[in-house]
Structure 1
Amino acid sequence: MESPSPQTQQQPKRAAVIGSNMAMAESTGDLAEMEADELPIKTATTATASSKGVQVNGVNGIYGGLDGEKERPNGKEDGARNSEANGSGLTQRKPKEASTLKAKDNDYPPLYDDDDLERRRLDRLNTYRAAGIQFAPWNIPYRRRMQTVAVLIHCLSIASTVSFFFFLCAIPIFWPLIIPYLLHMLLSKNATDGRLRMRSERWRRLPVWKLFGEYFPAKLHKTHDLPPTRKYIFGYHPHGIISHGAFAAFATEALGFAEKFPGITNSLLTLDSNFRIPLYRDYILAFGIQSVSKESITNMLTKGGPNNEGMGRAVTIVVGGARESLEAQPGVMNLVLADRKGFVKMAIRTGADLVPVLAFGENDLYDQLSPKTHPWLHKAQMWVLRTLKFTLPFLHGRGIFNYDVGLMPYRRRLNIVVGRPIMVAQKRDGEIENEEVDRLHREYVGELEKMWERYKDVFAAGRRGEMNILK
């Protein structure tokens, strides 16, 4: 019998090496074609070493490379960056043991993230990099350009409306109109009376807001039915830097709120000071946005509806507020909620059911300086918050024509999950007991924890930690 030649012996090994290299090249090629500020949520690649019969699993999290290697989404060291205590990007964490809190399958149905990478491909060969900044190529599809314009319009809404107002003030012919307008702005109750006179469904359904939702992209997930015979207080978590997800889901029809929850009129709430900004107040009133004051919430949930008692109405409160915006870091979920019980009291006072809302990806839209690495800056921000009732996050995102510098949010997925409603019995102020407030608050936090445990591996696969409830 003839012994096999050396070339014949090397053929199986060479075939195994080629097969392994092709599997690795295929997985890394997908990441190399993505935008620098787009983070894949879940991508799994399996390569089989034929020569040894060993299976090697490489899982790509937010920044996870093959076989657990740390890798940027664009395959380069200076791609999309996420802030951390030491200034580095997110890294793929090893799976942790399951938490003691388990969410039952019958409590929350399974939800899936649309891993639509084909629509978000980018020709990496045409990108231009200068001074460490990666610029967008010119051959991006027209619709993606329009998505950027839609987000830019909303981001510049305050600056553009105020600038236009002062431009009108410089023209004497408009003075007879400006003075009555300012008096109307100071005396108007449109933001607190709950009548929603300036709310425009046509404005909320404009195609530009559909483009706004597609930019990230954002998606609204329904887990339970909400009957229109009740009234609701939606608690939105986390605040993030600017709460783009809350705007897309509850101030517009970009994500299809009316189709998912028919018969419910929902209004996003914001600070009363926003209604003292000329022209900008009219811009947000057209969305049906109202003041977050007690008077406004009471009027919204006790008036209107089929029986003029507020049935079928809802308000959305970003519970964490400006304080929580300072905790917004990519890959983390820190909620300022432990001492926030005012919204629970308002629910008892108005008889509105509590609906927890968890927005996966809201904290990933911007980078900001970490309070751990800049404690003196954090103290200054807290002083401004206590004194002036607003805060100034030191943030950055992407630009209009680049992926690294600017105030535009990153193109990162937003998955907004609406949880199970918690029924609340209406009581008057003198009948509200602290024990009942604490019980409802604990139940509300428990629902948020169930939602986190149920969907964290679907929508937050590349997280840097678990959800934390802060004071």
Structure 2
Amino acid sequence: MDPTPATMMTNVKSTHPKFQIQAVDFLHIPRHRRLQTLAVTIWGFMVPICTGTFFMLCSFPVLWPLIIIYSLWAYTYDMSPRTGGRPKAWFRNLAFWRRFAEYYPQHLVKCQDLPADRPYVFGYHPHGIIGMGAFATFATESTGFSKAYPGIRPHLLTLTTNFHIPIYRDILLALGVCSVSKKSCSNILSQGPGSSITIVVGGAAESLSAHPGTADLTLLKRLGFIKIAIQHGADLVPVFAFGENDVFEQRKLKNDKGTTIYKLQKGFQALFGFTLPLFHGRGLFTYNFGLLPFRHPIISVIGRPIHVTKNPQPTKNEVEAIQRLYIEELMRVWNTYKDVYAPERTRELVLVA
């Protein structure tokens, strides 16, 4: 099959200006674009929205018994973040998520069918600033994952700290999002054929390299996800999201690794598990400065699977051999689609430690 839908993308050029502030003309914006922007704005500020709502509810004494029960259950007894979440098909199919994906827009390109007779580990690249493509593709049905791969149950993995935020944690669980801990990976992959996890391999370190027109992947020393796949006999599937690095602008620092800002960012990462890139996007009232992502297409190309033979105790040589096959397929995806979906790239894909 030819996985390149010519009608899907006729222009992958970013439309955001860089050299002057341009105000949004609300009077002439179509209704569907307003709804798309609203969806992205709400989701972008969902953490403070959920946190504020929780503390507002705490201001009503009549609700305290319910809040205490909820807190005890969520933070003591609920093991869902480590056992597959509580995914709800109707919630993953909400029109809200379709509006979210249409904003960029986001699309999924399938290279090959994946039989639902085995578990899978999807490796997502690049991380970008936030990982918008990973969320839309694997945590919602806005790009049609379940239709493309029937029988496969996707679970996007994220930091455990996200499940410490009240209400927000329940939204993530309803989308099937789970913790990225080793225990969580093992629990999900042990659920039998069709179970799958998606790991944004580059993590926080890679987000500091997320610049438009580039694809610097922190991958060469990332062997943990491959080892987990071998231990559970899960086929590995590389995913490359063209455009993920283009939806935000990040400040470029001269000699990044030697700057005080870089050292502070790495220290923050070591302490909290994530970092804070100095980035900006567009705003509600201007097109080229704010915290909303730019309207730039994100195309998630899901590659061919690397078959893995189960081995509970794989050797280092075995893990490295599978890694070479994984990188080979990832490079094939890049070389096949880069001229279609990344014509404005400033350099080729780079693998770093």
Give the 5 Å matches for 1:10-409.
109-112=3-6, 114-116=8-10, 132-137=20-25, 138-187=27-76, 188-194=78-84, 196=85, 198-303=86-191, 310-372=192-254, 375-409=259-293
Task: Tell me the CA shift for residue 454 of structure 1.
Answer: 0.8
Task: Tell me the CA shift for residue 379 of structure 1.
Answer: 1.8
SS in structure 2 opposite 1:415? strand
CA distance 1:406–1:421, shift in 2 (3 Å): same
Task: Tell me the CA shift for residue 183 of structure 1.
Answer: 1.2
SS in structure 1 opposite 2:63? helix
Bigger RCO (CA 8 Å, 6+ sep): 2
Task: Tell me the CA shift for residue 394 of structure 1.
Answer: 1.1
What amino acid sits opposite 2:165 in the alignment? Answer: I
Structure 1 portions without partners, runs of 5+: 1-105, 123-130, 304-309
CA distance 1:450–1:381, shift in 2 (3 Å): same
In 1, distance between residues paired with 2:137 and 2:7? 17
In 1, distance between residues paired with 2:48 and 2:351? 34
In 2, distance between residues paired with 1:136 and 1:109? 36
In 1, distance between residues paired with 2:43 and 2:341? 25
SS in structure 1 opposite 2:156? strand
Q: Larger % of helix: which?
A: 2
SS in structure 1 opposite 2:80? coil
In 2, distance between residues paired with 1:139 and 1:213? 22
SS in structure 2 opposite 1:449? helix
Matched, 1:413 2:297: yes
Residues 266-299 of structure 1 show CA distances to partners (whole Å, capped at 9, x for unaligned) of 1111111111111110111110101111111111
Instruction: Please report the TM-score for the alignment, with normalisation by the length of structure 1.
Output: 0.71
In 2, distance between residues paired with 1:121 and 1:296? 40
Q: Percent identity?
A: 45
What amino acid sits opposite 1:381 in the alignment? Answer: Q
What amino acid sits opposite 2:197 in the alignment? Answer: V
Task: Tell me the CA shift for residue 174 of structure 1.
Answer: 1.2
CA distance 1:451–1:121, shift in 2 (3 Å): closer
Q: 1:268–1:316: 8 Å Cα contact kept in structure 2? A: yes
What amino acid sits opposite 1:428 in the alignment? Answer: P
SS in structure 1 opposite 2:107? strand
In 2, distance between residues paired with 1:224 and 1:270? 26
Map of 1:426 onto structure 2: 310
CA distance 1:373–1:111, shift in 2 (3 Å): farther
Map of 1:442 onto structure 2: 324
What amino acid sits opposite 1:397 in the alignment? Answer: G
In 1, distance between residues paired with 2:7 and 2:243? 12
Q: 1:113–1:458: 8 Å Cα contact kept in structure 2? A: no
In 2, distance between residues paired with 1:399 and 1:109? 35
Instruction: Please report the TM-score for the alignment, with normalisation by the length of structure 2.
Output: 0.94
In 1, distance between residues paired with 2:157 and 2:92? 15
Task: Tell me the CA shift for residue 373 of structure 1.
Answer: 5.7
SS in structure 2 opposite 1:316? strand
